Amino acid sequence: MQVAELEVHNKSGLHARPAATFVKTAAGFRSSVSVENLTRGAAAANAKSLLAVLGCGVEMGHRIRVSAEGEDEEAAIAALRTLAEGGFGEAVAG
């Protein structure tokens, strides 16, 4: 299992469009991928489900833990880390 703890820097957090981008990226891997909002203490959710990701309530400044387990777990974590560091395709607060 691969795990990464990341901080969310984009202004809208993981809502609507950035959540859809996150889910689309996670769904591109065979591994099981989960996300949990460490800031809110929410339980891990399926990162391949838009409703589950939205339910995490991730906002700007929150810390998330992304976990992947399976044959392409390292690639999944690397891709999701890059996505988060790039603000999920949105402007990053500065």
Domain boundaries, the chain: 2-89
Binning pLDDT at 50, 70 and 90, where does residue 28 land?
very high
d(CA 33, CA 1): 10
- Among residues 15, 26, 31, 62, the one annotated as catalytic is 15
Q: Mark whether 9 is an active-site residue.
A: no
Q: How far is CA 88 from CA 18, 20, 81, in A?
A: 5, 9, 10
Q: For residue 3, give the DSSP letter.
A: E
Q: Which fold, 2-89?
A: Histidine-containing Protein; Chain: A; (3.30.1340)
Residue with structure tokens 């820097």?
9
Binning pLDDT at 50, 70 and 90, where does residue 75 land?
very high
Report whether 19 contacts 83 (CB < 8 A).
no
Question: Per-residue pLDDT averaged across 48-72, rounded?
Answer: 97
pTM: 0.92
Report whether 53 contacts 61 (CB < 8 A).
no
Question: Alpha-carbon Rg of the chain, whole angstroms?
Answer: 12
